[in-house]
Amino acid sequence: MAEDGLYLEGLTRRYGAVTALADLTFAVPPAQVVGFLGPNGAGKTTTMRAIFGLVELEAGDVAWRGRPIDAAARRRFGYMPEERGLYPTMQVREQLEYFARLHGLGPLAARERAVRWLERLGIADRADTKLEALSHGNQQRAQLCAALVHDPELLVLDEPLTGLDPGGIDEISEVLSERARAGVSVLLSSHQLDLVEDLCESVVIIDHGRLVTKGTVRELTTSGAKRLSVRVESVVDPTWARALCGVTVSEVHGDSLRLVLEEGVDSDLVLRAAMAQGRVTEFAFERRRLSEVFREAMA
Ligand code: ATP
């Protein structure tokens, strides 16, 4: 069992004929933002709820820093649930202070933190407004303030980026990266794979409650067939690469080609073949997008 961060082992839960979680195991290390991905109904929310003891598991364990999670540990966690948990008719700052007090802060510290996070997420001017009077995106920011207000050591965020404008996405991404740099373990679910690719160091992909794949974004986007972008200036025959064994030409744009190399094909051979055609002005390996990795994992 991992001694650092959050460790989920063998989580299993069925609802009648539906398998929500099936022997699911993964870790959320300290100082990392981990993206939690899967199609609708894959089991992400159920997993997150299990971390907070809100789902009765048939089997499996959830551990924080190598120990079972108790109420004291949970007070140091921050949670942004899918069913957003704030009170619609209560003023924003008032309820942030209330949540901070629930997590053990004194009245002065609670007020200071509430103000600080409202300022950080750009809604300080709405502090005395009822939550229900805020726009959807600003309610989302307030929800995130509530998850952050007690400076938690673990952040669990169920689709925190949904419904935000590009500025809001940048601000929240920056806050989450900064929290991770400060040592916090961050687990976030999202269907916005391009954002996850930019924000997360690693991802866990599940389907039907089972682990499909996990790894760093770098590992996952650079594994498998190599992709090359090659440009040969003033090339006479832009399809020159078609003759190479184990190489597929996936796109041709003028004198630029995108190539897919089967495993084991030596890229030096491709470079030499390109140089034989003319002056090579581009020769670069390309990563797969995370969305491609996801689609392949689901196929
Ligand atoms: P989404 O991306 O749509 O939010 P998800 O990955 O969060 O999906 P879950 O909400 O965890 O998925 O649901 C996993 C499965 O378990 C679904 O088939 C869901 O219908 C089922 N499920 C979850 N909670 C319950 C419940 N309380 N009663 C019955 N079925 C449930």
Summarised one tens digit per residue, pLDDT across range 16-30 is 999 999 999 999 999
With CA atoms as reference, report the closest residue to 59 among 67, 50, 71: 50
pLDDT tens column, 144-193: 999 999 999 999 999 999 889 999 999 999 999 999 999 999 999 999 99
Ligand 1 center from residue 49 Cα (angstroms): 11
Looking at per-residue pLDDT, the higher value among 243 and 1 belongs to 243
pLDDT score of 2 more than 60: no
Local structure of residue 161 (DSSP, 8 states): T
pLDDT score of 133 more than 70: yes
Domain range 6-216, CATH architecture: 3-Layer(aba) Sandwich (3.40)
Q: Whose CA is nearest to atom 16 of ligand 1?
A: 20
The rounded percent of the chain whose pLDDT value lies above 90 is 82
Q: Whose CA is nearest to atom 29 of ligand 1?
A: 15
Q: What is the pLDDT of residue 264?
A: 86
CA atoms within 13 A on the CB side of 170: 4
Three-class SS state of 278: coil
What is the side-by-side order of every strand in the sheet holding 247-253? 247-253, 256-261, 226-232, 280-286
Q: What is the pLDDT of residue 83?
A: 81
Q: Whose CA is nearest to atom 2 of ligand 1?
A: 40
pLDDT tens column, 74-131: 999 999 998 877 889 999 999 999 999 999 999 999 999 999 999 999 999 999 999 9
Number of neighbouring beta carbons within 10 Å of residue 17: 5
User: What are the structural domain ranges in the chain?
Assistant: 6-216, 224-298
Number of neighbouring beta carbons within 10 Å of residue 35: 24
Supply 52's token pair. 């907070």
Task: Please tell me if the CB atom of residue 54 comes closer than 6 angstroms to any atom of ligand 1.
Answer: no
With CA atoms as reference, report the closest residue to 190 among 182, 180, 200: 200
One fold for both 6-216 and 224-298?
no
The rounded percent of the chain whose pLDDT value lies above 70 is 99
Class of domain 224-298: alpha beta
Atom number in ligand 1 closest to CA 43: 11
With CA atoms as reference, report the closest residue to 84 among 158, 175, 20, 33: 158
Ligand 1 center from residue 196 Cα (angstroms): 21
Task: Please tell me if the CB atom of residue 42 comes closer than 6 angstroms to any atom of ligand 1.
Answer: yes
Provide mean pLDDT across the span 230-248.
Answer: 88
Q: What is the pLDDT of residue 86?
A: 87
Give the global pTM: 0.87
Task: Please tell me if the CB atom of residue 46 comes closer than 6 angstroms to any atom of ligand 1.
Answer: yes
pLDDT tens column, 200-238: 999 999 999 999 999 999 999 988 778 899 999 988 777
Is residue 92 within 8 A of residue 124, CB to CB? The reply is no
Atom number in ligand 1 closest to CA 42: 6
Q: What is the pLDDT of residue 208?
A: 96
Task: Please tell me if the CB atom of residue 190 comes closer than 6 angstroms to any atom of ligand 1.
Answer: no
Task: Please tell me if the CB atom of residue 15 comes closer than 6 angstroms to any atom of ligand 1.
Answer: yes
- Burial letters for 120-150: b for 16+ Cβ neighbours within 10 Å, e otherwise? bbebeebbeeebeebeebbbbbbbbbbbbbb
CA–CA dist 40, 95 (Å, integer): 31
CA atoms within 13 A on the CB side of 68: 4
pLDDT score of 1 more than 70: no
Q: What is the pLDDT of residue 82?
A: 84
Ligand 1 center from residue 203 Cα (angstroms): 20
Average pLDDT, whole number, for the chain? 93
